[in-house]
Amino acid sequence: MNTRTVLDQAEISRALTRISHEIIEANKGVSDLVLVGIPTRGTHLAQRIAANISRIEGVDVPVGSLDVTMYRDDLAHHPTRAPMPTEMPEDIDGATVVLVDDVLYSGRTVRAALDALGDHGRPKVVRLAALIDRGHRELPIRADFIGKNLPSSRDERISVRLVEHDGEDAVTIS
Amino acid sequence: MRHLIDTRTLTRDEALLILDTAEDMAATQQREVKKLPTLRGKSVVNLFFEDSTRTRISFEAAAKRLSADVINFSAKGSSVSKGESLKDTAQTLQAIGADGVIIRHPASGAAARLASSGWIDAGVLNAGDGTHEHPTQALLDAFTIRRRLHGEGSRGKGLDGVSVVIVGDIAHSRVARSNLWLLNALGARVSFVAPETLLPFGVRSWPVAIHHSLDTALREEQPDVVMMLRIQSERMHAAYFPNDREYARNWGLDDRRFEGLSDDTLVMHPGPMNRGLEISSRAADSSQSTVLEQVTHGVSVRMAALYLLLSGERIES
């Protein structure tokens, strides 16, 4: 199958830098900001964005990792998934939570994440950042911060590879 | 996983998957909202042919925290007491549309029979069958040991090199059998301590060291874990030992033996305890005792088992 690289390492880095600036701007600073990644790669992206924000603003933003397996509505349609660890900052009540995921597709993962988040507390605002938005939404959900819009057919496979998990930074389509 | 019938056929990877999933379940039980929507719309039947309040409520709590609907079935006062067979009961549950059946039965092999008979499509979870196995009890024991040894960093770890001494009525104990297979799979070293009369037939072909004297076992095995079993007088239809006082003196974890243990040796008991017979109050109430943690962890482990059995596609077999 034909595989094409859509974003290379430098482009991923630039996209994340831009998203970091956009988050700071939308939040008018970094007060009460919490980044929550959706495992596995969303968590790594959230950590990179936090590092960017720390470099730009000189403030460390809390980063969490939120597994949404138990909240999915399609558990009966796929083989059983092993859940990943969830590590959340102590208190998200009243905070601005930015959910971070690698690819935004049907929106069902984000819906599950919103439910899961609600069981941890009541944030003031929840926003969504995604490295890739590939369309094909099945729910009325949209991202606030997007690295790259990538219109694609349902048959195409988009894979995000990150150094922390896959040994290299690249987004490919095949 | 399709069913959970025993720990004998459980691989190390499968056991670790259940224990790691239980870690996630335990984390959700620390939150204000303990309930997860995971098994919404699924029906779980607690099919209990034998009385057991603590196991039944543990399973019921686990299923309800995963949002499953729970139907409690007790053989007493049901048509079973009018002579209905396991097959008829199973077919009734099939007709109701049960997705999961948690079965406790006095006959060894009842859970395996239900799972393999083709009477019912539901996932079958063995909650104790005769003197055969009680897999979730062994899993919660392993989970408890792992938590005490590794704390927050338990995920992915086995019990390699851990020495576990299991004391008491091995012959009637499905807990001892399930623990032996599971602890072995996880890399622990298991010893049984019991009078010859309370050892099961064929035990010498199992991967376990056998002692008759508790004092010798404690000295030679240097256990990290001492697991006391309940004397199941309701299952004893013959004289297995002269009397309670002699049993307590020879095989009970009394104050003297408890004080001789190292400070970090864990004391476990599956409950309910006969205080003063197999375990002294001092040992049972000490900080080394994990009795109440075992109960708490039981819910997390059973949530994990129910999740792994009942979520995901049903592969037609």
Q: What is the pLDDT of residues A86-132, one digit of tens each?
A: 999 988 999 999 999 999 999 999 999 999 999 999 999 999 999 99
CB contact under 8 A, B36 and A82: no
* Same domain assignment for residues B186 and B112: no
Q: Give residues 45 to 74 of A whose Cβ lies within 8 Å of B.
A: 67, 70-71
Residue B295 confidence class, pLDDT cut points 50, 70, 90? very high
**What is the percent of chain A where pLDDT is above 70?**
99
Return the pLDDT at A1. 67
Whether the CB-CB separation of B170 and B203 falls below 8 Å is answered with yes
* Same domain assignment for residues B125 and B140: no
Distance of CA A73 to the CA centre of its chain: 19
**Length of chain A in terms of residues written:** 174
* Same domain assignment for residues B142 and B271: yes
* Same domain assignment for residues B155 and B250: yes
User: What CATH number should be reported for the domain holding residue B65?
Assistant: 3.40.50.1370
* Same domain assignment for residues B279 and B223: yes
Answer whether B49 touches A (CB < 8 Å).
no
- Residues in contact with B1: Cβ distance below 8 Å, sequence separation at least 6, in sequence order: A80, B14, B123, B308, B309
Q: Where are the domains positioned within chain A? A: 4-76+85-164
Report d(CA A77, CA A81) in Å as an integer.
11
Answer whether B14 touches A (CB < 8 Å).
no
**Chain A residues in contact with B24 (beta carbon < 8 A):** 67, 70, 83-86
Report d(CA B46, CA B125) in Å as an integer.
10
Does residue B228 lie in a domain region? yes
Handedness of CA B251, B254, B259, B261 (dihedral sign): positive
Strand A158-161 and strand A170-173: the pairing is: antiparallel
The model's pTM is 0.92
Any alpha helices (H) in chain A, and if so which ranges?
Answer: 9-27, 41-57, 108-118, 163-166
**Chain A residues in contact with B27 (beta carbon < 8 A):** 85-86
Chain position carrying tokens 């009460």: A32
Amino acid, single-letter form, for residue A59: V
* Same domain assignment for residues B141 and B268: yes
**Chain B residues in contact with A85 (beta carbon < 8 A):** 23-24, 27, 155
Report d(CA B162, CA B204) in Å as an integer.
21
pLDDT tens digit string along B64-83?
A: 999 999 999 887 777 777 77
What integer is the mean pLDDT of B155-178? 95
Question: Residue B171 pLDDT > 70, yes or no?
Answer: yes
Chain position carrying tokens 């719309």: B41
What integer is the mean pLDDT of B83-103? 92
What integer is the mean pLDDT of A18-29? 96
* Same domain assignment for residues B81 and B187: no
Number of domains in chain B: 2
CB contact under 8 A, B24 and A85: yes
* Same domain assignment for residues B206 and B300: no
Phi-psi region of B70 (alpha: psi -120 to 50; beta: other; left: phi over 0): beta
**How far apart are the two ends of chain A, measured CA to CA in Å?**
6
What integer is the mean pLDDT of A130-157? 96
CB contact under 8 A, B311 and A80: yes
Spatial CA neighbour of B211 closest among B265, B222, B246: B222
A4-76+85-164 folds as Rossmann fold (3.40.50)
Number of A–B residue contacts, CB under 8 Å: 52
Return the pLDDT at B135. 97
**Chain B residues in contact with A76 (beta carbon < 8 A):** 311-314
Spatial CA neighbour of B211 closest among B201, B221, B223, B224: B221
**What is the percent of chain B where pLDDT is above 70?**
97
* Same domain assignment for residues B123 and B170: no
Q: What's the domain range around B192? A: 136-290
ipTM of model: 0.85
Does residue B5 lie in a domain region? no
Answer whether A90 touches B (CB < 8 Å).
no
Tokens standing for residue B241: 């030992």
Residue B175 confidence class, pLDDT cut points 50, 70, 90? very high
Of A82, A84, A119, the CB nearest to B31: A119
Nearest CA in chain A to B23: A85
Does residue B7 lie in a domain region? no
Return the pLDDT at B244. 86
Return the pLDDT at B78. 74
Does residue B88 lie in a domain region? yes
Does residue B316 lie in a domain region? no
